Amino acid sequence: MAETLQEGIRLFQLKRWSMAVQVLLQMENRTVKTEEGIERAYYLGLCYTKLGRFDDALLYLEQVVNTAQNSLQVYQCRMTLAYIYALTSRAKMAEFELDRLVASGFESVQLYLILAYTSHSQRQPEKAVQWYEKVLNLDKHNTTAINGLGYILVDTNLDVRRGLRFCQIAVDRNPQNAAYLDSLGWACFKNGNTVEAKNWLRRALELAPQHKDIQNHMKIVVKEAS
């Protein structure tokens, strides 16, 4: 069985996730309390996540967090669980997993980014701002956090001037990112500059013409300017 496990891990590392799943499923259905059982569940959970088969992924990832002794494995599985829950609109469950990590003393940029996202999803802007600021304390150049912080500040009217500055920084660093251009356009609108808002939103739509949020922002700005 050790050879089968190693072959599954090799295929996972090669990003051949479907093949890795097929190999790992050939192993005997041993209890996850054994070392090999935990490793099998760990890689099956990650493979299924990569394949977008989230219900299958949850089954194996939860087995790992409930039985594994390897703190790094538990950390990665909890992060992956939180990612799946956030992606599938289960923000409270995502926050539960992330809170467990914070309580355990884990700290990372990715952890705080997901916490900010889940707080924003639950309409808790002040909390989201705090998490984005924690990201920037760890990595002051993190453009995702800079843009996210700027957008929340302007969208919720917490501090539209400060938000505009963050959005401008994000676009300066990545002028071809549609989401950043959208944030800057919306920030300009919130600061009363509809001409600049339309210019930035037009550029955002050129890069992502089907993006619903950008379309909605442009409609609002155009209506206001007419």
pLDDT at 121: 81
pLDDT at 72: 83
pLDDT at 57: 96
C-alpha closest to that of 47 among 31, 59, 32:
59
Instruction: Give the pLDDT of the chain (226 residues) as one tens digit per residue.
Output: 678 889 999 999 999 999 999 999 988 665 556 888 889 999 999 999 999 999 999 999 999 988 878 788 888 898 899 889 888 888 788 888 888 888 877 778 888 888 888 888 878 899 899 999 999 999 999 999 999 999 999 999 999 999 999 999 999 999 999 999 999 999 999 999 999 999 999 999 999 999 999 999 999 999 887 7
C-alpha closest to that of 168 among 152, 146, 153:
146
What domain range is 102 assigned to? 82-140
86 lies in the same domain as 136:
yes
> Backbone phi, then psi, for 180, in 5-degree steps?
-70, -40
88 lies in the same domain as 21:
no
Pairwise CA distance, residues 161 & 191, whole Å: 7
pLDDT at 90: 86
Burial pattern 183-193, b for ≥16 Cβ within 10 A else e, equals bbbbbbbbbeb
Domain-terminating residue out of 99, 117, 140: 140
165: enclosing H helix or E strand: helix 160-173
Residue 187 in domain: yes
- Give the tokens for residue 199: 């210019």
Residue 30 in domain: yes
How many other C-beta atoms are found inside a 10 Å radius of the C-beta of residue 66? 12
Pairwise CA distance, residues 86 & 80, whole Å: 10
Q: What's the per-residue H, E or C state across 6-74?
A: HHHHHHHHCCCHHHHHHHHCCCCCCCCCCHHHHHHHHHHHHHHHHCCCHHHHHHHHHHHHHHCCCHHHH
How many other C-beta atoms are found inside a 10 Å radius of the C-beta of residue 27? 17
pLDDT at 122: 79
Tally the C-alpha atoms within 13 A of residue 81's C-alpha that lie toward its C-beta.
26
pLDDT at 31: 57
| 189, 220 Cβ separation under 8 angstroms | yes
Domain-terminating residue out of 24, 43, 69: 69
pLDDT at 75: 85
Angle ∠(92,94,97) on CA atoms, nearest 5:
110
* CATH code for position 193: 1.25.40.10
Cα torsion 88, 92, 73, 132: sign: positive
Task: Give the total number of structural domains in the chain.
Answer: 3
Pairwise CA distance, residues 146 & 155, whole Å: 14
Which 3 state secondary structure label does DSSP give 157? coil
pLDDT at 212: 93
* CATH code for position 18: 1.25.40
